[in-house]
Amino acid sequence: MIIDILTVVPEILDSPFKYSIIKRAQERGLIEINVVNLRDFAKGNYRQVDDYQYGGGAGMVMMIEPIYNAIQSLTEKRGGYDEIIYTTPDGEQYKQQTANYFSTLDKILILCGHYKGVDHRVREHLITREISIGDYVLSGGELAAAVIVDSVVRLLPGALGDSESALTDSFQDNLLAPPVYTRPADFKGWKVPEVLLSGNQKAIEEWRLKQSIERTRKLRPDLWEKLDLDLD
């Protein structure tokens, strides 16, 4: 799988992809991640990528020309992308199901928003998916891109030591994950539930499902309502 990330501040992404699961996935050849500097496709001595917005108003806007040039060049190099994603606060809210879908693709391009956003013609004509990781505003879309990459890479076969680990994460079935425990079984009188020590796998799975249901109902009623609709 190939993920190209187009950004005006590539330095922000120096660290997130050099450690842990993402690093190992790259070393194993499961994923190729390329951080591309948008300024390489800008004109002039200053490689300008932003300008004042028409109609006035605070904040600079990312210009369409360098973005267009970059996307055209990268698309030609890759032979096309399955998705061209723009990270923006007003995009669709990122979900586990979206991460699952992205993990099945071969080539993705992520455009990181910055400043006041991009010239809207980019969104109208060049982007295939707009993604928000939450109802808040970041200084740029680089951290959102890192979140997307991390959530996708861990789903790739061979990325995790336990191939089933990602399948039991929260949100995979619209339920929150159950509580988990490890040794010691008794710490300062705080004990691990007996069922987890019983060796009765059927009872353990029933307990985990019950805990997932109860936690989802209590902590994420929005998910619970959707689950009810699904069950109907």
Specify the pTM.
0.85
CATH 3.40.1280.10 domain extents, the chain = 2-153
Cα separation, 113 vs 142, in Å, equals 8
CATH superfamily, with its number, for domain 170-231:
tRNA(m1g37)methyltransferase, domain 2 (1.10.1270.20)
Cα separation, 89 vs 117, in Å, equals 10
CATH 1.10.1270.20 domain extents, the chain = 170-231
Position 229 scores a pLDDT of 42
User: For residue range 146-202, what is the model confidence (pLDDT) as tens digits?
Assistant: 999 999 999 999 998 655 555 555 556 778 888 999 999 999 999 999 999 999 999
Residue 76: both structure tokens together: 């030609």
Share of the chain above pLDDT 90, in %: 78
Run of H or E residues at 76: helix 64-78
Say if residue 13's pLDDT is above 80: yes
Say if residue 141's pLDDT is above 60: yes
Residue 164: both structure tokens together: 């089933």
Say if residue 231's pLDDT is above 50: no
Cα separation, 218 vs 19, in Å, equals 35
Residues forming a β-bridge with 32: 2
Position 176 scores a pLDDT of 87
Say if residue 95's pLDDT is above 90: yes
Position 118 scores a pLDDT of 95
Position 177 scores a pLDDT of 86
Burial 4-29 (b: 16+ CB within 10 A, else e): bbbbbbbebbeebbeeeebebbbeee
198 touches 187 (CB < 8 A): no
9 touches 37 (CB < 8 A): no
CATH superfamily, with its number, for domain 2-153:
SPOUT methyltransferase, trefoil knot domain (3.40.1280.10)
170 burial class (0-12, 13-18, 19+ CB within 10 angstroms)? middle
